[in-house]
Amino acid sequence: MIFAAGLGTRLKPLTDTMPKALVPMLGKPLLQWQVEKLLSAGITDIVVNVHHFADMIIDAVRNNNGWGANITISNERDNLLDTGGGVRKVVNAQCTMHHGASEHSGNEPLLLCNVDILSNLNLQDVVNAAQKDTNDGLLVVSDRQTQRYLCFDEQDQLCGWTNTATGEIKGQDGRRLAYSGTAVLKPALWRLLDEVAQEKGDKFSIIDLYLKVVSGREKVVGNKAILKAYIPHSEYKMMDVGKIDKIAEAEQFAARLANEA
């Protein structure tokens, strides 16, 4: 699933006339970069959620035949659901199909990624690790500097979240790693999405789901749910294209990624 429904306010004035997903990067929209990266990992069935300039994204998908992928549109035109609410909508099979794909059954793992993140992450390695490990999900993290971190225990299991700017800690403190926005979540967690929605409403962050797992009060198939850290290789590089003053730098970064591919 590619998160593409955001308003893209940090990319104004570009996003005054187009969605963030269609902001060009070396002549290709950000959405195409993400689709091609998923295809390179053998992932052909992709869900894209839409809200801001939704019709423009749908038209781009149709006009380009999904860039070779089976793309399903999850329509959030009337109600922007944030990342957690968006995932819940998809796994509850409430998507509207717009290009060549059947609706998501809600019974398969989901790989999540943000439309505005460029990286050299090998998604196939992430998927393989998720399949081999006895976890309910893998969260791709790194040691880059930020203000908000996920916290992990000595077994690399998620144990909390912290905002270093405010000093706030939810759950337990631990090894602080920055979340990349990329994760593989398994169906054992879907019930928890509904329980978070009961507390937060239909609109909530995916971090709320992660913290629901951390609470330890919820049980999944008789056992405590486990989310583990996936730490990429030492050459891992990523960049958030979400700010207008970073566009030129992002294009240079994208060029380097293209040359290394």
Q: Dump the DSSP string for 6-42.
A: S--GGGTTGGGTS-GGG-EETTEEHHHHHHHHHHHTT
Supply the pLDDT for residue 216.
63
Supply the pLDDT for residue 223.
59
CA distances from 214 to 176, 209, 225 (A): 15, 9, 8
Supply the pLDDT for residue 101.
44
Cα separation, 34 vs 49, in Å, equals: 13
Query: Which residue is it, tokens 């790989």?
Result: 111
Segment 168-179, tens digit of pLDDT = 999 999 999 999
Question: What three-state secondary structure class fits 186?
Answer: coil
Segment 77-124, tens digit of pLDDT = 999 999 999 999 999 864 544 444 444 455 678 999 999 999 999 999
Which domains, from first to last, does the chain contain? 1-116 (3.90.550.10), 121-236 (3.90.550.10)
Segment 147-171, tens digit of pLDDT = 999 999 999 999 999 999 999 999 9
Cα separation, 59 vs 53, in Å, equals: 10
- Closest residue by Cα to residue 141 from 239, 229, 242: 229
What pTM value is reported for the model?
A: 0.91
Res. 58: pLDDT tops 60: yes
Segment 162-221, tens digit of pLDDT = 999 999 999 999 999 999 999 999 998 998 999 999 999 999 999 999 999 998 644 454
Res. 9: pLDDT tops 80: yes
